[in-house]
Amino acid sequence: MGKRLGARLIAFNFIIIFILYTKFFTEFHVTPNHLKECITNLNLKTKVKPILLSFSGLPDSGKTAAVTCVRGSTRGQVLEKDNQQVGGEKQPEAGGIAFHEMVAAKLSGTTSINDFTAESCFAPVILSAFKEDLLSEGKVPRFDDPTKALCSKIKEFQHPDLDEHLCFIYQFLSQQDFIVRDLQQSEKKNVQLELSKFLIESLPEGIAFINIWDVTFDESVRHFLAALHSHLYNHHMWLFLGLETDIPKLDEPPEMGQNGNERIHATLMKWRPRLHYLLRNCRMSEGKREKVCTIFATHKVQYRYEELTEKVKKLEDDVQPVANQIGISSLLEDKIEKLSLLPDDRDFQGLHQKFQSIIIDKPFEDIPIAWIFLRTLFYRFDWKVITRCDLQIMAEKCNIDKDSLTEFCKFYMSFGSILDLSLVNPKYQYVIVKPIGFLRDLGTLLNPSEEILQKYPPIASGIVPETACLDLFNGHILAYMDALVSLTLAIRLTKHSLEFKNEHGLLHNDLKNITDDIFYYVPLTRFGDPITKLDFSSVHVITSINTPHIFKQVAFTKYFLQLFPESKLILSKHPNQTIIMDSATGITVTLVSHSPATRLTLSKPDEHICSKIIQTYEKIAESAISRGIAAVNYKFIKVCAESVHSKIRYIPSCHYHILPDDKLCSKCNEAATGDDVKLRQVWNKTLKEHPVKDCFQSTEGLTQVKGKEIAEVAAKIASFASKNAPVHLHAIIKAFNGTDDVKDLKADDITINRIILSWYESKRDTQEPRRQLARKIFEAKKFWGAVTL
């Protein structure tokens, strides 16, 4: 049924085009030339709903079962998984992402959803409107016998691929059962009217084109997709969290995956809880939309209604502050939905209804038929990528000008049908027309096999020889490696920029027998143990650029090597470490990611190298601004000795001093060694000579707090404190005064205002007074929470 429906929908699409278009002709005999004129007429448009729905979560969260559910028919029949074909090719999977394509249309009041098939994939849309005109026309087109339409004779486009595709569509349409092929039969008016009525009554308003991604959040492909946010503007995300399996551990660092998957350690740092990583996936939906991400709390245990409601409410309370921190609160639906994974439970029926509501609520978009023709061409060929130049030539043949082609690429990228990375980086000269197949090929590099690692040992250290790329990508090195470079997942290196010797001055074992002149630095290929030990004697940099640590390592290496061309990259198998050496002095700069902070360690203090580091971060900030990020700020900091180092999990939340700072505090001065003092002096001197530009300085927390604001804070705290006055007042005194002496104080807003104001006056001249106040309020909440418990 699915195949017949899909084929019929596509046939209707072109049949109705002909009926509309041939109103301007006296003859209704459809030839390949007529078909070509229809395609190249940009005024002929179709209605389509583009949708990308991704399912994200940990392996046991129930997300894959949910995918199976939504791929079921409207009668609840589940489609057999992974047996559908697009353009005669089995649906591909890439590391960390499974892929399904579907079409949906409303027929006879019911939304019918079907997987693409080899017959229906080439034109997944249908023309809308003008039903009244069609009824009044009362005619149908006539096609030649399909055996007479020889592709070798069709030269309408004067382009072999376009002409072959035109022939394929013509032959496909002419083979449909309801097409009139005999001239005498077509002249019978009653037959004409009957067939025309059948076509028109069967015609839906439009068709939905749906891509479904089943995403595993801990795979390297996640970083590739992370670079596409704001461009997937027709994306919806469903995030699945298991009440029994996931939620008890959401505030803990990521663990190793199933079967000891070391890739998780390489791509996910322990400095953030797994809930942060799961929620950050929602950033793929960023754009000018809200409420497009839904969280499902799944469970395999039968709970009482009250108990289940309480668990979900607690999850909502846990999610909200993390979502605020990441900046995706507006993308999340207000309520977390419950989903039972128990057998025979009806929750999955509601899931399918929600899927249908996305389809129904999505507005139609009008796009030219020429876009459909051009896009569907690539379903039938083996190409995974096409050069922008070749695509431009094909587009011009279809009457698509440069501006229309840009809109074509934006539209199809919005729901993951193609990936046009030039929208992210204009230097990329290819268009990816089979995204999942492309990602699958990239996976051979980003998740290298033992065979590949033995053949090319430097890959384990993130150094990829050009010959390895030629081998892995069958010679198509630029399409794949330029994609990684464009997304700041890799940089291109010459032999001169790579240190071939080890610490003993001998040729590095991994670089023996390597004769390449060109290499790529791809940190994602490394899966050694990450460096987790903190070094508080080093300077750290904190930036507002909210990207994974891999991007930050690549960006730093790229700009530092540009500014300091005599430096060399040193091999390292630690996934969160980058080491660069000044070949003239032998001084090394070691970059270690403790997301979101980055540690900068110099083997020896040096003003010249510090200045290059400062300039590097300025370049990184300028690049981010050029990509459309509204505001970027960063700061160089020294972790304060007041912080209990053993308890620090998140560096930006600890006590620190912003450099340059000649004073520091008494505890830092007491704890400083001679080397610490010298390092601080070098950084202070260099940052005074090369200060962070005003436009890149963080203003959050720097401005003074007004008395009115302190009064408002005091009033809010007092409203909480009055509920359990002795306990809460004790917590406030403990946080702001560091004493347990409550005396005869009352928990009213006047008393609390006086306590806060007295503390603030003593801190007025400190760095980031607003941040200091926020920290104290947080400490007070922790104190009274602990006492209450």
User: DSSP characters for 107-170?
Assistant: ETTEEEEEE--TTTTT---B----HHHHHHH----EE--GGG--GGG--SSS-HHHHHHHHHHH
**pLDDT for 262-279, tens place per residue?**
454 455 666 677 888 888
In this structure, the answer to whether residues 176 and 238 fall within a common structural domain is no
- Domain extent for 630: 528-698
Q: Using DSSP bridges, classify how beta strands 45-57 and 235-242 pair: parallel, antiparallel or unpaired.
A: parallel
**Residue 739: inside a domain:** yes
Which tokens hold the place of 784? Answer: 């009274």
For residue 741, give the DSSP letter.
Answer: -
Q: Based on the fold, state whether residues 160 and 21 are members of the same structural domain.
A: yes
Euclidean distance between CA atoms 652 and 197, whole angstroms: 68
Q: Is residue 246 part of a domain?
A: yes
pLDDT for the residue numbered 351? 87
741 CB-near residues (< 8 Å, 6+ apart): 733
Domain boundary among 173, 207, 241: 207
- Comparing 399 with 190, the larger pLDDT belongs to 399
In a domain, 671, yes or no: yes
pLDDT tens figures, 645-690: 666 667 877 888 899 988 778 888 888 899 999 999 999 999 999 9
Q: Which helix (H) or strand (E) holds 575?
A: none
Q: Are 632 and 545 in contact (CB under 8 A)?
A: yes
When mean pLDDT is compared across 14-18, 335-339, 395-399, 672-676, the lowest value belongs to 14-18
Number of compact structural domains in the chain:
4
% of the chain exceeding 90 in pLDDT: 36
Tokens at residue 446, please?
A: 């980003």
| pLDDT at residue 649 in the model | 65
Tokens standing for 539?
């300077």
For residues 536 and 552, membership in a common domain is answered with: yes
User: 542 and 688, same structural domain?
Assistant: yes
CA distances from 347 to 67, 236, 244, 505 (A): 14, 20, 17, 65
* Residue 497 included in any domain: no
Indicate if 39 and 158 belong to the same structural domain.
Answer: yes
Q: Where are the alpha helices (DSSP H) in 701-748?
A: 707-721, 725-737
Q: Do residue 679 and residue 539 come from a single domain? A: yes
For residue 747 the two structure tokens come to 């928990």
pLDDT digits (tens, 9 = 90+) for 360-379: 899 999 998 899 889 988 88
Contact 121, 240 (CB under 8 A): no
Q: Give yes or no for a cis peptide into 457 (omega within 30° of 0).
A: no
One domain for residues 175 and 278:
no
The residue type found at 307 is: E
Rg of the chain over Cα atoms, rounded to whole angstroms, equals 31
Closest CA to 48 of 417, 489, 323: 417
Label residue 257 by pLDDT band (50, 70, 90): very low
If asked whether residues 244 and 305 sit together in one domain, one would say yes
CA 157 – CA 399 distance, rounded (Å)? 10
Is 189 a member of any domain? yes
β-partners of residue 507 are 501
For 512, what's the count of Cα atoms within 13 Å in the CB-facing half-sphere? 7
| Co-location of 691 and 598 in the same domain | yes
Q: How far apart are CA 126 and CA 13, in angstroms?
A: 4
In-domain check, residue 505: no
Q: In the predicted model, what is the mean pLDDT of residues 344-350? A: 76
By the 8 A CB rule, do 54 and 212 touch? yes
CB 770 within 8 A of CB 705: yes
Specify the 3-state DSSP secondary structure of 394.
helix
Query: Would you list the DSSP string of 635-650?
Result: EEEEE-TTS-GGG-S-
Distance of CA 238 to the CA centre of its chain: 14
Cα maximum dimension of the chain = 107
Q: What is the pLDDT of residue 702?
A: 54
Residues 6+ apart with CB under 8 A from 717: 732, 749, 752, 756, 777, 780
What is the arithmetic mean of pLDDT over 294-323? Answer: 91
Say if residue 787 is exposed, middle or buried (CB neighbours under 10 Å; 0-12, 13-18, 19+): middle
Report helix, strand or coil for 588.
strand
Strand partners, 542: 597, 635
Residue 5 pLDDT > 60: no
Digit-coded pLDDT (tens) for 89-113: 445 566 678 888 888 877 666 677 7
239 and 178 share one domain: no
Q: Is the pLDDT of residue 130 over 70?
A: no
Local structure of 378: helix, strand or coil? coil
Nearest alpha-carbon partner for 659 in 692, 707, 704: 692
Placement of tokens 């940052």 in the chain: 687
**DSSP annotation string for 15-76:** HHHHHHHGGG-S--EE-HHHHHHHHH-TT-EEEEEEEEEEEEE-TTSSHHHHHHHHTS-TTS
Structure tokens at 396: 């011009």
Question: Beta strand pairing status for 45-57 and 365-368?
Answer: antiparallel
691 and 726 assigned to the same domain: no
Q: Residue 464: what residue type?
A: V
Greatest mean pLDDT among 109-113, 339-343, 485-489:
485-489
Instruction: Tell me, rounded to whole angstroms, the distance of Cα 385 from its chain centroid.
Output: 20
Share of the chain above pLDDT 70, in %: 74
Which of 207, 225, 249 is the endpoint of a domain? 207
Residue 434 lies inside a defined structural domain of this protein: no
**How far, CA to CA in Å, does 619 sit from each of 38, 543, 770?**
50, 13, 28
Angle (CA) 391-393-168 rounded to 5° is 75
CA trace torsion 12, 17, 18, 20 (10° rounding): 120
Distance between CA atoms of residues 134 and 126, nearest Å:
15
CB within 8 A of 340, min separation 6: which ones? 298, 299, 300, 302, 347
Element (H, E) at 208: strand 207-216
Distance CA 201, CA 25 (A): 24
pLDDT higher for 59 or 77? Answer: 59
Residues 149 and 7 in one domain: yes
* 509 assigned to some structural domain: no
Rounded to two decimals, what is the model's pTM?
A: 0.84
pLDDT for res 747 = 57
Structural domain ending residue among the three candidates 155, 187, 207: 207
Per-residue confidence (pLDDT) for residue 728, from 0 to 100: 62
338, 303 contact by CB (below 8 A): no
